[in-house]
Structure 1
């Protein structure tokens, strides 16, 4: 029996669930038309929690408290612009380190936005799963 090709396995990523006043923080890179969860791919040997803390500092210039990282949900859906390849995004909650600045675009992030369930058209399929989950949990404005 052969193992699946790395290109047929879901792309594993992490995403930060950061909701303020009933709105979810999302980001857009220069080359994208949609907004994504802040986060990204794991480096070899890196845990989901380590990847989240690293990616958020790189992308938004804020520090997450590693002791506060906790599970949210796993969203699996076809990746935007990935020719049908699935993305498996482990979404995690985490608190900012006290005194951390407000999130701001850095690295490949060009723009931040705060979305509600009414903005599902602005996010890729995995993002829609997150929006639905947060609305069902009563955390996100409908």
Structure 2
């Protein structure tokens, strides 16, 4: 079994979660990505969010939210994605960059437009009353 280790930033406003769609992809994903080399979670997440969304996470505000696993989209069966999620404040204005085609605020009703691991996260956020 192969595991893809990813980090994600959970940003919720008005009961909706910030999601991104990369060029060439059909589904929306919670923003984040993979670590490079010996990066810590905070270093990797801060770098990925800066690259993708042109904002800076505030390091002292970064808080662990949970780790979730599911079948990885567009990978052979048995390839799992492990998504370690954090909430954090940020500075700057959200803008799509790099491989990001779209930014969109999604609600629970958008569940079918996200990846399998994101569905698990959406369900937990809905149960906690954070997602409409």
Where in structure 2 are the equivalents of 1:124-135 lying within 5 Å?
Answer: 124-135=115-126
Number of residue-to-residue matches in the alignment: 131
Distance 2:43 2:63 in 1: 12
Alignment of 1:31-46 (within 5 A): 31-46=24-39
Q: Residue 49 of structure 2: which of 48, 56, 59 is its match?
A: 56
- Structure 1 stretches lacking a partner, 5+ long: 1-7
Aligned to 1:90: 84
Q: Secondary structure at the match of 2:56?
A: coil
TM-score under structure 1 normalisation?
Answer: 0.90
Q: Which residue of 1 aligns with 2:59?
A: 66
Among residues 111, 118, 138, which one is paired with 2:109 in the alignment?
Answer: 118
RMSD: 0.8
Unaligned runs of 5+ in 2: none
Give TM-score, length-normalised by structure 2: 0.96
